[in-house]
Structure 1
């Protein structure tokens, strides 16, 4: 089914959020396929990253260099530096031409990880948000949520070497999850909470239902 929303007006911005192990990468494809089947141009991207410089910053953020721990302030500034580049080089141009951007994490992750997990004052994060984003916010955010213990088991089952964030303690991820849920509660029109602890088929059906309802209202 073709749709003229891909060529008229401003594009839409959809984000997927959630802690480690909730299945964002898997379900990002579901969102992209839903939109592509309706004839819109879709840009799939991620944060931190999305651009060459952004991906280089991502490596700095994820690499667990024991000889030089990364300070909380440096972490926060690196994330917004990557985001500024991402917005300038990729996201804003795509939206301007009418494309629909689907992003694995955005600024809600910063409020959750650096705000909730690291304990950085949310007002400081909001100051950088205003500077870098100049009012740009996602149109829809799918928050994949599940108990931390279950998500940790999924991460363990992957058998991969853990990155700098995945090595954090359970209390860090508990604070991240709580921060995400607070943001969803504060902005229910933008957020849709998806129970990611369900079987994958059920999770994807829930996502499809949310997208169908939201698509009809666009």
Structure 2
């Protein structure tokens, strides 16, 4: 049994990432006979739940914060992160607002935990992991929040990069910031987070994604990257293109 494939969907909020991840996971399982794990960030694990509360502008409960400090996560092997995350949890306990750098540290700690406990074991067992957001999101959203590329890459190299897991293929579903906000407003049951409600932030995020893909070092974060224009293609058209790409890269070789 060979190693599973790690496929990630990236893009602005409401670009169709979750829709495509669900469609592709179902297709791989039902029509291709591939064992699949659906995954997302922030995760539903303890650190991911803390991160989600923060970006949704809610105060994490005292119980959740206690669990976060007591949680025996393998990410604590990354010694620099132990102290930093404990400092972040203490800030939240005191009701203090986190800096953007602290928020990104929280996401990275969640990612390290997820890679070590979920993603890497699944890939080793031959399971394909279909993921909604990964490393590229950290850079795009962090840079949109005025963090420097140098600060983010330093954190990446001190955490996730040490675990030596990166996507085999990333799909970037490219939509305009205006379209992202329009879809958000049309989705009445959708809760709005701190990164989604301002058009200027969405524009900076879209620009950051574009700058990332133009940089030579982009492939440090994913072995292959495919961009799809989500403004001009329907969800069905994008699904067709994604299937074609996956088939030509991976399934024809099984």
Length-normalised TM-score, structure 2:
0.75
Distance in 2 (CA, whole Å) between partners of 1:180 and 1:152 is: 17
Aligned residues: 208
Q: Which has the larger radius of gyration?
A: 2
> Any gaps of 5 or more consecutive residues in structure 1?
1-6
1:136 CA displacement: 2.0
Residue 183 of structure 2 is aligned with which of 128, 150, 154? 154
Instruction: Report the counterpart of residue 121 of structure 1 in structure 2.
Output: 148
For 1:3, the equivalent position in structure 2 comes to: none
Deviation at 1:123, TM superposition (A): 1.9
> How far off its partner does 1:30 sit?
1.8
Paired with 1:98 and 1:129, the residues of 2 have a C-alpha distance of: 26
Matched residues in 2 for 1:62 and 1:123: separation? 23
Q: 2: CA distance between counterparts of 1:150 and 1:180?
A: 16
* Partner of residue 199, structure 1: 234
Paired with 2:20 and 2:47, the residues of 1 have a C-alpha distance of 22
Gaps of 5+ in 2: 60-94
Superposed CA offset, 1:100-126 (max 9, x none): 1111000100000012x1121212222
- TM-superposed CA distance for 1:68, in Å, is 4.7
Contact 2:40 2:131 (8 Å CA) reproduced = yes
Q: Is the 8 A contact 2:12 2:206 kept in 1?
A: yes
What root-mean-square deviation, in Å, do the aligned CA atoms of Structure 1 and Structure 2 show?
Answer: 2.1
Q: 2:37 aligns to what?
A: 43
Counterparts of 1:162 and 1:110, CA distance in 2: 19
Q: Is the 8 A contact 2:228 2:238 kept in 1?
A: yes
2:165 is matched with 136
Secondary structure, aligned partner of 1:69: coil
Matches of 2:55 and 2:5, distance apart in 1: 29
Change (3 A) 1:121 1:217: farther
Give matches, 1:201-216, under 5 Å: 201-215=236-250, 216=252
Contact 1:54/1:86, CA 8 A, preserved across alignment = no
Q: Tell me the residue number matched to 2:205.
A: 176
Q: Which residue of the partner structure matches residue 84 of structure 1?
A: 112
* Alignment match of 2:55 (pick from 55, 62, 87): 62
Q: Which residue of 2 aligns with 1:4?
A: none
Distance 1:151 1:79 in 2: 22
Cα deviation for residue 171 of structure 1 reads 1.7
